[in-house]
Amino acid sequence: MKMSPVSPTQQDQSSTQTRRTNMSVSLVWLFAIASGLSVANVYYAQPLLDTLAQEFGISHAAVGGVVTATQVGCALALLFLVPLGDQIDRRRLMALQFLALVAALVAVGMAHSAPALFAGMLAVGLLGTAMTQGLIAYAASAAAPNEQGRVVGVAQSGVFIGLLLARVFSGGISDLAGWRGVYFCGAALMLLLAFPLWRQLPGLAVTQNNMSYPRLIASMLTLLWEDKVLQVRGVLALLMFAAFNIFWSALVLPLSVPPYNFSHTTIGAFGLVGIVGALAATRAGQWADRGYAQRTSAVALLALLIAWWPLSLMEQSLGVLVIGIVLLDLGGQALHVTNQSMIFHSRPEAHSRMVGLYMMFYAIGSGLGAISTTATYAYSGWQGVCLLGAGVSLFALLFWWTTRRIQ
């Protein structure tokens, strides 16, 4: 293959990573569990926003900035840490990030001022995201091409379930041991996971070990400029995660006051119903591999839009709220898995950089969703939040329709 001297993203494509055939079930699930526990750290704060607002003197309109701080950390990780998986040994990178993440979780648990809290949240977002997306790229590179969709789908289901269970865990632990206990327990869980992960993760050859770090980072701009699939799927991810965080960041606010007065444990338990939708969408990656990516995307986006109707009826019935959560999570998970399956197939030599770029869109969308929903709720209440979420979801569906031929 003749290599272009001006395109760093094309370099060394003939040097492919060692791929495992018939990846064991235990290894696939280890990727899923590790990814889920890593991402959970980033979302522990969402059911705690009212408590954090009271303890640190942050207004309800501004407390969404706690979540936004983690998303800033996410963005930094995706730009500067996740791409390292294409350049250096992934197992060693995982070990270093594990230790740093444990330290960041302990720092949040020990915070006694708002600046310390925000700094700790930024570090948790940075390292939790680096671990999560590094593991997804690791799984994609370790899988054989014919099972890549299945492996990424299962690993991504772990991420989604970890994200949902983070709220249940956070709410329950905070009721028992306070909000600080949530982060100390999170640090302990990561330490328990460290040994089996180090022992079982496969060794893989590095794809870009001849490229300097500055050139590696610069090559991401070329990838973003050249790859139309990445551009389209990135924008869909931005809109989808904005809608997702509009709902989850606002849910604690109406449920923690009259007439509900639910505890953090009860509010967090609503995340459990989303697992139904997440599990139902685990095959989306395989459908994309079989050529049904656009059909899967259409169904997922319709589910995301329709979900806002039952969600808007929460004040009349908590039963319809449950239906809305299932639809929201089904649509979100199916679209996310489909997106990742498509971008991994487009550039097999750049998995870490591709997932870093793709998840940059996710981080931007999540941050915008979190900060916009608390402000919207402060001025327009729950119905305003639902209108905002439905508007974002409708725009995502229209954007997909205009770009559906790009695949």
Read off the pLDDT of residues 344-378 as tens digits, 9 standing for 90 and up.
877 777 888 998 999 888 878 887 888 888 889 88
Within a domain: residue 9?
no
Residue 36 lies in a domain: yes
Domain of 284, CATH number, reads 1.20.1250.20
pLDDT confidence of residue 207: 60
Q: How far apart are CA 299 and CA 332, in angstroms?
A: 10
Cis check: omega of the bond before 259, within 30 degrees of 0: yes
Residue percentage of the chain with pLDDT more than 70: 92
- Whether residue 6 lies inside any domain: the answer is no
Domain count, the chain: 1
Residue 14 lies in a domain: no
Residue 16 inside a domain? The answer is no
Query: With the CA atoms of 161, 108, 101 and 41 taken in that order, what torsion angle do they form, in degrees rounded to the nearest 10?
Result: 0
d(CA 286, CA 210): 33
CA angle 40, 42, 47 (to 5 degrees): 80
Residue 214 has pLDDT above 50, yes or no: yes
Give the whole-angstrom CA distance, residue 275 versus residue 285.
Answer: 17
Q: Which two structure tokens, joined as six digits, stand for 235?
A: 């924008």
Tell me the per-residue pLDDT of 11-59, one tens digit each, with 9 for 90 and over: 434 334 444 456 788 888 899 999 999 999 998 987 888 888 888 887 7
pTM of the model: 0.79
Residue 13 falls within a domain, yes or no? Answer: no
pLDDT at 329: 86
- At residue 20, the 3 state secondary structure works out as strand
328: in domain: yes
Q: Residue 162: which domain range?
A: 21-403
Residues 6+ apart with CB under 8 A from 195: none
User: Is 366 within a domain?
Assistant: yes
